[in-house]
């Protein structure tokens, strides 16, 4: 019945293997390692690949992985027990070898394996004969609720609501989505995203929470002659002050963005929490932060699932409070639990370190893009090929597309690139003027050498024209004039607006930009995740090609307004697998940062 059982070290050495058929299993096992174990998606221990179901268990003490594979159509009720039993048997039998780190030993395990398998098959048969009984209270979902989880705290309502919805769906009994094909990570992500957007809709429908619908449509901005964005204090070119005085005031920004984009720095109070954990005697100093949650684990020998359960529950609440989507918070906790179970925490201070390292490792995996985006390098490469590097910006109205496009333009100029901005937002009144002002401003900050052309040019054709056509002409113009980078500003559109999404798909299809960036507001949290998923889906649906060009990266704006609620960033990358290329952190040209896992971890642990 079983096709494969393999025991291998996390370092990749196969210790023992049983194969029931002559089929080649390595692609499936490799897919499991690549898509689940390495990507920290180890919350779910079942994985489907082609016609196989693979189930695995981690041994964190000896750093081993136990994998069983069987045909997907089979319903084997004993697999969980079997994995556990084999795991225990193998550990007991070879603990001396494993302790000595002799992963290359001769593990004659077949007889034992057969005996355990037989035992489990008999157990399954006997279980099948027992009539179904009602679940005890301990088995039910209710028993897992803590008093703390039922208390609604101020500021946590949002997270709590989505948790409730997820639970309600689970108890519904019937599957909500088509069967998950775990072999395809994208499918899993799409499913998760769908869930998220569904939860959102249900929240909206709920009569108990009559939310006032926020008017998200952008009001046309009134532009003054020679004016700029009125709401940008630093970039405000309008009214009373003559423009020149502003230009002089801003010159201190010049030269501050050379080289790669700087990392976002998050201040944390983790040092005090860590310090606290490192002392056995309780310190009078008051500490907050996530580390304090783990104080309960101190003194445990090998960490058991039971010992970790209440702690993980708190960690999950903490993550949800930081705006991490409930499903993803669950997965992160499960992933941390899987990595910690069985670990022996020696000294007192190692608790904090181990958990921090584990969480960081998981988040690094989640936040690490599937592909690296290095704009400066790619732009140089395109230049060598004699063509401009083209970036397109899309997103809903008012999220900060034009402002952040201008910031990116500033960064490119600081790095010696010449830029052409293609004004393809031919809908919104004032959009072209806004870009014109930015271009003028940027040129004033980086004046060209005598008789040289300006570093930033604007390609504009006014309003009401076909955006895809303007973008195409702009790219052609940039190629002819040897401009290094083209930045295409597109009109803001709601993710559900089919005609506009179709137009965006066309713009991307006919112009094939090197990078399509989705601009989303960190401020709206998981709403931005919903927008991103729908943009991606619409681009795929409307492009009418086998390999549609979807979103390549994310610009997360208004990060300065969200305090430490970094959850949306995690959710966005987790769901799409696309990197957060830039974060906007304010309203000056230099307020553009890169987001890396350590900063996110610090913000999460606060």
Residues that bind ligand GDP (CB under 6 A): 218, 229, 231-232, 397-404, 492, 557-558, 560-561, 584-587, 591
Q: 76 or 594: whose CB is closer to ligand GDP? A: 594
Instruction: Give me the DSSP letters along 324-375.
Output: --HHHHHHHHHHHHHHHTT-B--STTHHHHHHHHHHHHHHHHHHS-SS---H
Place of tokens 């999950």: 316
> Considering the complex, what minimum distance in angstroms separates the CB of residue 397 from ligand GDP?
5
* Tokens encoding 479: 């190629």
* Tokens encoding 79: 């697999």
* Tokens encoding 477: 């113009």
Closest to 460 (Cα-Cα) out of 482, 480, 433, 495:
433
> Considering the complex, what minimum distance in angstroms separates the CB of residue 379 from ligand GDP?
22
> Considering the complex, what minimum distance in angstroms separates the CB of residue 10 from ligand GDP?
40
Burial of 365 (0-12, 13-18, 19+ CB in 10 A): middle
Q: 388 or 395: whose CB is closer to ligand GDP? A: 395
Rounded CA separation 440/541 (Å): 38
> Considering the complex, what minimum distance in angstroms separates the CB of residue 392 from ligand GDP?
13
Helix orientation angle between 350-367 and 567-576, rounded to the nearest 10 degrees: 50
Handedness of CA 238, 241, 245, 250 (dihedral sign): negative
Q: How far is CA 361 from the centre of its chain?
A: 14
Rounded CA separation 63/343 (Å): 9
Handedness of CA 91, 93, 97, 100 (dihedral sign): positive
Q: 297 or 555: whose CB is closer to ligand GDP? A: 555
> Considering the complex, what minimum distance in angstroms separates the CB of residue 487 from ligand GDP?
12
Which 8-state DSSP code applies to residue 451? T
> Considering the complex, what minimum distance in angstroms separates the CB of residue 401 from ligand GDP?
3
Q: 8 or 518: whose CB is closer to ligand GDP? A: 518
Place of tokens 């094939």: 512
> Considering the complex, what minimum distance in angstroms separates the CB of residue 14 from ligand GDP?
50
Q: 351 or 572: whose CB is closer to ligand GDP? A: 572
Handedness of CA 170, 175, 176, 182 (dihedral sign): positive
Which 8-state DSSP code applies to residue 37? I
Q: 69 or 420: whose CB is closer to ligand GDP? A: 420
Q: 220 or 416: whose CB is closer to ligand GDP? A: 220
* Tokens encoding 245: 């005085």
Q: 317 or 521: whose CB is closer to ligand GDP? A: 521
Handedness of CA 493, 587, 378, 39 (dihedral sign): negative
> Considering the complex, what minimum distance in angstroms separates the CB of residue 220 from ligand GDP?
10
* Tokens encoding 422: 């293609």
> Considering the complex, what minimum distance in angstroms separates the CB of residue 540 from ligand GDP?
23
Q: 116 or 583: whose CB is closer to ligand GDP? A: 583
């Amino acid at each position: 019945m079983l096709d494969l059982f393999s025991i291998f070290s996390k370092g990749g050495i196969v210790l023992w293997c049983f194969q029931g058929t002559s089929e080649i299993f390595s692609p499936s096992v490799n897919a499991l390692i690549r898509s689940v174990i390495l990507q920290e998606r180890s919350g779910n221990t079942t994985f489907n690949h082609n016609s196989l179901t693979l189930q695995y268990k981690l041994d964190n003490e000896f750093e081993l992985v136990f994998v069983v594979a069987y045909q997907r159509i089979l319903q084997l009720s004993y697999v969980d027990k079997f994995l556990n039993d084999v795991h225990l048997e193998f550990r007991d039998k070879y603990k001396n070898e494993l302790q000595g780190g002799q992963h290359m030993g001769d593990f004659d395990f077949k007889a034992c394996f057969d005996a355990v398998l037989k035992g489990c098959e008999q157990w399954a048969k006997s279980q099948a004969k027992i009539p179904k009984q009602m679940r005890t209270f301990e088995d039910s979902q209710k028993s897992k609720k803590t008093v703390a989880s039922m208390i609604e705290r101020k500021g946590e309502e949002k997270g709590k609501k989505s948790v409730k919805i997820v639970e309600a769906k689970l108890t519904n009994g019937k599957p909500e989505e088509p069967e998950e094909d775990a072999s395809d990570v994208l499918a899993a992500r799409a499913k998760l995203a769908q869930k998220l957007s569904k939860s959102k809709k249900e929240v909206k429908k709920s009569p108990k929470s009559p939310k006032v619908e926020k008017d998200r449509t952008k009001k046309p901005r009134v532009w003054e002659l020679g004016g700029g964005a009125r709401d940008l204090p630093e970039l405000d070119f309008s009214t009373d002050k003559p423009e020149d005085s502003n230009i002089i005031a801003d010159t201190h920004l010049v030269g501050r963005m050379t080289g790669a984009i700087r990392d976002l720095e998050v201040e944390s109070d983790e040092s005090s929490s860590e310090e606290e954990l490192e002392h056995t005697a309780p310190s009078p100093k008051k500490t907050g932060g996530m580390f304090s949650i783990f104080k309960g684990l101190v003194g445990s020998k090998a960490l058991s699932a039971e010992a970790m359960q209440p702690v993980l529950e708190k960690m999950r609440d903490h993550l949800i409070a930081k705006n991490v989507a409930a499903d993803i918070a669950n997965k992160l906790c499960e992933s941390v639990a899987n990595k910690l179970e069985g670990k022996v925490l020696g000294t007192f201070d190692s608790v904090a370190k181990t958990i921090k390292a584990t969480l960081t490792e998981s988040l690094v995996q989640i936040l690490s893009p599937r592909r690296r985006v290095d704009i400066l390098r790619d732009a140089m490469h395109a230049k060598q090929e004699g063509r401009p590097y083209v970036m397109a910006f899309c997103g809903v109205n008012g999220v900060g597309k034009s402002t952040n496009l201008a910031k990116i333009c500033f960064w490119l100029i600081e790095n010696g690139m010449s830029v052409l901005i293609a004004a393809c937002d031919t809908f919104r009144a004032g959009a072209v003027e806004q870009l014109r002002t930015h271009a003028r401003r940027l040129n004033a900050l980086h004046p060209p050498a005598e008789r040289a052309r300006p570093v930033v040019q604007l390609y504009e054709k006014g309003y009401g024209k076909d955006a895809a056509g303007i973008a195409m002409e702009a790219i052609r113009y940039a190629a002819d004039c040897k401009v290094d980078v083209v930045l295409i500003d597109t009109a803001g559109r709601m993710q559900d607006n089919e005609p506009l999404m179709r137009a965006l798909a066309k713009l991307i299809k006919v112009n094939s930009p090197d990078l399509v960036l989705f601009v989303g507001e960190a401020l709206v949290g998981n709403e931005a995740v919903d927008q991103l998923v729908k943009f991606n889906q619409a681009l795929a649906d409307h492009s009418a090609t086998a390999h549609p060009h979807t979103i390549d990266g994310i610009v997360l704006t208004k990060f300065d307004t969200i305090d430490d609620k970094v959850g949306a960033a995690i959710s966005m990358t987790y769901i799409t697998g696309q990197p957060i290329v830039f974060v906007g952190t304010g309203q000056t040209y230099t307020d553009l940062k890169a987001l890396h896992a350590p900063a996110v971890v610090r913000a999460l642990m606060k």
